Amino acid sequence: MQGSVLVIGGGIAGIQTSLDLTELGFKVYLVERNPSIGGRMAQLDKTFPTNDCSLCILAPKMVEVFRNPNIELMTYHELKAVSGTPGDFIATIIKKPRYIDETRCKGCGDCAAKCPKIQVPNLFDMNLGKRKSAYIPFPQAVPPIYLIDPEICLKLTKGVCGVCAKVCQAEAINFEQVEQEIKINVGAIVIATGFDMPAEKLSSRWGYRFENVVSALEYERILCASGPFGGHVLRPGDHEEPEKIAFIQCAGSRDLHEGIRYCSSVCCMYTAKEAIITSEHSEKSKCFVFRHDIRAFGKNFYEFTQRAQKEYGVKYIQTKISKIEENPETKNLTIHYENLKTGEFDNFEANLVVLATPLVHSSGSQELSEILGIEVDEYNFFRELDYYNKSKSTKEGIYLCGFCQGPMDIPETVADSSGVAGQVAAYLNSVKFEQIKEKDIEIPELGIKDDDEPRIGVLICHCGINIGKYVHVPLLAEYVRTLPNVIQCEDNLYSCSSDSQARIKELIINNKLNRFIVASCTPRTHEALFQETCVEAGLNKYLFEMVNIRDQCSWVHMDDAEAATQKAKDLIRMAVAKARLLKPLKEELLKITPTALIIGGGIAGMTAALNTANQGFKTFIVEKETVLGGNLNYLNELYPIEQDASDFLNRTIDTIEKNENIQTFLNAKIKKVKGYVGNYVVSVEESNGNVQELSIGTIIVATGGKEYKPKDLFQYKKENKNVITQLELEQLLKEKGKSWLDDINRITTILCVNARQNEGITYCSNICCGNSIKNIGLLKKLKPELELIVLYRDLQMAKKRYEDYYRERRKDAMFLRYDLDNLPIVKRKSKSPEKYGIKYYDTNLQDFLEFETDLIVLSTPMVPSDNLMDLAKMLKVPLDKNGFFLEAHVKLRPLDFATEGIFLCGCAQWPKNVQDTISQANGAAGRASRFLSAKEITTSGIVAEVNPINCIGCGKCVSVCAYNAIDILDSIKEYEDVSLLVKKSFINSALCKGCGTCAATCPNGAISIKQYDFDQITAMIESFLLET
């Protein structure tokens, strides 16, 4: 077995899984066929639902990959062949010639600047922009190395020119380069090849051939500040600002005629996001979304689409599109459509049309599947081994990660990537850390004495046009150079790029700087990056200060460049004042107990437990019920595989019981949680009253969810036996055979009961649609004469197999659509036999319709489990407004809590089905086992400190500390004549998060926060008010 892994594909999936794998103890070969990693996420403008700038949250991860000594980054390489056996694969990889020596290229761009003006469409800009023969795909490319296109380069095709070689100062141009073959030996292979959006394959009725009809990815490039139009919303044809932009949903997905049977899953959300961002970019453009079923089933997704309509004025029209035609003079588009609400046919004139075209497998998937010997499914995605584990391909040792397996959005992909890493770690457990090399600190930390003269370096970033367009950066740099103690000040285009890091190190070392400031974007995303750079140059990371002149300056003062520049001057001057007083801080090493605690013994908890246990860590499961299994105990059958839930459950419980590393506490609860990451002491109260104290390294929260009982809604009452919820129906189907259906002829299911409302439960619960139609199928099988009706609002069937499953179920029932304005009215017509009358507004007849039914099944949302507040307080983790646990970052850290050492998975995070739960549970276990594998970690140096001389022991600090990091300790003070019992405040630096609340509260000023002490803050204020 080899302790290394080959990851094919450098998008967010490949990147996340590579990073996790190195922390779990494996060397990674990351092969990407394009010249840069980043994939599709690098092409996006903003990401939903937080509207973060996509590249801004991705770039730090890209740079982390680049700087990681255990990831061999092989860009512009392609996999040619694989041989060997699982655990011991031999991969042959072709290195395509860049005609530029990677070891010499500095990414300066001189070659591209002098390259003759023969330009071709730039693939990264979706062929909307152009690039030359010597190029880099985008400015933040990783690695930041240029390459030459052999198809248009004059030297390579005709033997003339060669100017680039003359201007390249690093002498990196090499026209003699040829293809190279490299062989590597790996233990496992992960496929993360992502997706394509081939809009040109659509049939002509969508009008893609017209110049002002674009696909969604092309529109992302149009919106993007670094795209072909500089972030101005212009139409490709005549570069005019479009007044009316039409977004067409379902443009080709769910369409047998186009050959895409499935739902692409992410379009409903990205369309809402694009419409919102468009409204922000441009006053003039009005957005219209032509939608069919809205599938906004993820966390906070549905509210996002509602915000688009209510806050941003985006108009949503429920439609089916007939065709799109072009007006040959104005080049405007006419959309012929049917309005599904009114039943009318209408035409809409738009200046620009954005099509949400289908997302399909990446090109070359078929060939890749043949090289690897794995199967491809009926939709041309890679086939998963079985429903219960979508990360495994059909061959041992080869794993599937992200969109290459099936449509999924970024949070799901990130969770999936961690899950794959966790499973690979379990598979290659015996050879962990064999091929890992530790990060060498080449330059030891320089000792800084308190009275050493501060020598400050400043780097001011243009951030492309984000800062540079609104703040006069060169003027700023000139000004900063005049400030006392500033030895060096430079400005550059992108401080976050890898060559900028090299420059920073150069500046520090060459100028013997002992403080460094970067004035750029937000520390939230980039502080860690720059701190690491300083450490690599021998500077303690706490001698680094970051100034936000983007989010807090250029972005919010776009209309007043002069004022923005002045504000930036003030901000940097204040930072320099603080920097003079910065001190180097020490970080502590903490040992990690190699055990895991899983709170919750449902399928999420059990899967996570099996993963950590299989990696060799002792794992405890604490379950509040008397049996394991959680909600799975109440389910009858699983869809779309139509297998018995109890079979699967019993198999899993069996595996748990046989695993020696797992100890289960049933009918137990968590009484107390003390400690901090790696060193928890958890008190578990067992059923017999005994309290056990467990030493725990990391905690995984898997508390699941429960069904909402819709009291008094739609006649749901105790005495109404024939109005039941879906789980109650599952029970009946499980236990009662079919005799209970003898007197029942017609069953009506109502979806979205008390969900997706304007108030209260505003979210979409993801799983109810699928669950309901599964039960429809079962009922029809039990008693074929049954008449089944489903009243629905939108049908959520986004996952690769669900749309076909839905097509089959449409044969079993009558589907009637209602909306929030006109809820169905249910009245009880008779008591015995129980009969109900339903009145609803039928849009086909444009009139009310009444009918009778014998049984009503209500699909209600999933809500969080009981008593989570107490648990949340104990763990010091937050809950969101719906009561589910709140993760660290909705997009890129869906399984982590902001509090280190605790992880989250399953329905405790958000309602999801069994397959996704298993994937997330593996992900959480993967994330958690990074700590457990590490054996020790370092804590932050930014902590609060008590000066005991000034402390009077009043205890106010204890009452305000959110992390329970402060204790009042007794001590005896001896004086000549008396001994005094004094109380002093003591802060545990391992728990302290440096929030500063205690320092602000202390009446005597006895507490100060390192890195933000009173002197430093005073210096900043004085600098702002008194200096210029």
Partner 1 sequence: MQKYTPSKIIQLILEGFEDKVLDSGDLWDCLTCNQCLKDCPEDINFADIVRTARYLMRHRNQSVDEYVAHKGIYTTLSEIMSRPYINPERNMEWVPKGCKISDKGNILYYVGCLPFFNYEFEGLDTIAKSTLQIMCKVENEPIVVLSEETCCGHDIYWGQGKLKTFIKLAKKNIDKFEKTGISKIVTACAECYRTFKIDYAQLFEEFESKFEVKHLIEYIYDNWKEGTIEFVKPNKYEEITPFTYHDPCRLSRFLSKENDITGMTREIFKEFEKLGYKFNEMKHNKKNSLCCGVNSWMNCNEKSKALRYTRMLEAKEAGKIMITSCPKCNIHLSCLQNDFEDIASIEILDFSEFLVNHIKVRKSRKKEESK
Q: Which residues bind partner 1 (CB under 8 A)?
A: 203-205, 254-258, 320, 322-323, 338, 343, 345, 807, 814-816, 842, 844-845
What is the DSSP-derived secondary structure letter of residue 386? B
Exposure b/e, 625-635, CB count within 10 A at least 16 = b? eeebbbbbebb
Rounded to the nearest whole angstrom, what is the least distance from the CB of residue 790 to partner 1 in the complex? 12
Taking a C-beta distance cutoff of 8 angstroms, is the pair 11, 39 a contact? yes
For 140, the token pair is 């933040």
Rounded to the nearest whole angstrom, what is the least distance from the CB of residue 347 to partner 1 in the complex? 15
Question: DSSP string of 432-462?
Answer: TTTT--PPP-SSPPPP--TTSPP-EEEEEE-
What is the residue whose two structure tokens read 């980043």? 38
Rounded to the nearest whole angstrom, what is the least distance from the CB of residue 215 to partner 1 in the complex? 18
Q: Which is nearer to partner 1, 131 or 291 (CB)?
A: 291
Q: Which is nearer to partner 1, 266 or 816 (CB)?
A: 816
Q: Which is nearer to partner 1, 356 or 504 (CB)?
A: 356
Helices (H) and strands (E) in the chain, counts: 24, 53
Rounded to the nearest whole angstrom, what is the least distance from the CB of residue 813 to partner 1 in the complex? 10
Q: What angle do CA 852, 854, 856 make, to 5 degrees?
A: 95
Q: Which is nearer to partner 1, 207 or 602 (CB)?
A: 207
Rounded to the nearest whole angstrom, what is the least distance from the CB of residue 150 to partner 1 in the complex? 35
Q: Which is nearer to partner 1, 339 or 683 (CB)?
A: 339
Q: Which is nearer to partner 1, 243 or 258 (CB)?
A: 258
- Residue 457's beta-bridge partner residues? 488, 516
CA-to-CA distance for 185 and 190, rounded, in angstroms? Answer: 14
CA-to-CA distance for 222 and 443, rounded, in angstroms? Answer: 44
Q: Evaluate the omega torsion of the peptide bond into residue 710 and state whether it is cis, within 30 degrees of 0.
A: no
- Residue 399's beta-bridge partner residues? 190, 392
User: What is the separation of C-alpha 370 from the centre of its chain, rounded to a whole number of angstroms?
Assistant: 31
CA-to-CA distance for 901 and 939, rounded, in angstroms? Answer: 12
Taking a C-beta distance cutoff of 8 angstroms, is the pair 353, 249 a contact? no
Q: Which is nearer to partner 1, 83 or 844 (CB)?
A: 844
Question: DSSP string of 649-666?
Answer: HHHHHHHHHH-TTEEEE-
Q: Which is nearer to partner 1, 255 or 445 (CB)?
A: 255
Rounded to the nearest whole angstrom, what is the least distance from the CB of residue 323 to partner 1 in the complex? 8
Side-chain-side CA neighbours of 576 within 13 Å: the count stands at 28
Q: Which is nearer to partner 1, 223 or 294 (CB)?
A: 294
Rounded to the nearest whole angstrom, what is the least distance from the CB of residue 526 to partner 1 in the complex? 45
Rounded to the nearest whole angstrom, what is the least distance from the CB of residue 269 to partner 1 in the complex? 21
Q: Which is nearer to partner 1, 812 or 887 (CB)?
A: 812
What is the residue whose two structure tokens read 């680094």? 544
Rounded to the nearest whole angstrom, what is the least distance from the CB of residue 814 to partner 1 in the complex? 6
What is the DSSP-derived secondary structure letter of residue 553? I
Q: Which residue type is seen at 528? A: A
Residue 115 has a CB neighbour count (10 Å cut-off) of 24
Q: Which is nearer to partner 1, 294 or 518 (CB)?
A: 294
CA-to-CA distance for 818 and 751, rounded, in angstroms? Answer: 10
Q: Which is nearer to partner 1, 341 or 455 (CB)?
A: 341
CA-to-CA distance for 513 and 537, rounded, in angstroms? Answer: 10
Q: Which is nearer to partner 1, 72 or 255 (CB)?
A: 255
Rounded to the nearest whole angstrom, what is the least distance from the CB of residue 710 to partner 1 in the complex? 26
Rounded to the nearest whole angstrom, what is the least distance from the CB of residue 209 to partner 1 in the complex? 14
For 405, the token pair is 């397996």
Residue 785 has a CB neighbour count (10 Å cut-off) of 7
Rounded to the nearest whole angstrom, what is the least distance from the CB of residue 815 to partner 1 in the complex? 8
Residues 6+ apart with CB under 8 A from 524: none
Rounded to the nearest whole angstrom, what is the least distance from the CB of residue 205 to partner 1 in the complex? 6
Q: Which is nearer to partner 1, 379 or 910 (CB)?
A: 379
For 162, the token pair is 């060669």
Q: Which residue type is seen at 998? A: C
**What φ, ψ does residue 803 adopt, rounded to 5°?**
-60, -45
Rounded to the nearest whole angstrom, what is the least distance from the CB of residue 255 to partner 1 in the complex? 4
Rounded to the nearest whole angstrom, what is the least distance from the CB of residue 753 to partner 1 in the complex? 22
Q: Which is nearer to partner 1, 127 or 844 (CB)?
A: 844
Task: Please state whether beta strands 333-339 and 746-750 pair in parallel, antiparallel, or not at all (unpaired).
Answer: unpaired
Q: Which is nearer to partner 1, 846 or 950 (CB)?
A: 846
User: What is the separation of C-alpha 147 from the centre of its chain, rounded to a whole number of angstroms?
Assistant: 31
Q: Which is nearer to partner 1, 344 or 396 (CB)?
A: 344
Task: Give, in order, the Cα–Cα distances in Å from 518 to each of 18, 76, 122, 491, 515.
Answer: 28, 32, 32, 10, 10
Percent helix / strand / coil, the chain, rounded to 5 = 30, 25, 45
Rounded to the nearest whole angstrom, what is the least distance from the CB of residue 338 to partner 1 in the complex? 7
- Residue 985's beta-bridge partner residues? 968
Q: Which residue type is seen at 237? A: G
> How buried is 851 (Cβ within 10 angstroms: 0-12 exposed, 13-18 middle, 19+ buried)?
middle
Task: Please state whether beta strands 134-135 and 213-215 pair in parallel, antiparallel, or not at all (unpaired).
Answer: unpaired
Nearest to 627 by CA among 665, 662, 655, 599: 665
Q: Which is nearer to partner 1, 334 or 659 (CB)?
A: 334
Rounded to the nearest whole angstrom, what is the least distance from the CB of residue 257 to partner 1 in the complex? 6
Taking a C-beta distance cutoff of 8 angstroms, is the pair 889, 927 a contact? no
Question: DSSP string of 104-132?
Answer: T-----HHHHHS-S--EE-TTTTTSSEE-
Rounded to the nearest whole angstrom, what is the least distance from the CB of residue 847 to partner 1 in the complex? 11
Nearest to 728 by CA among 710, 703, 754: 710
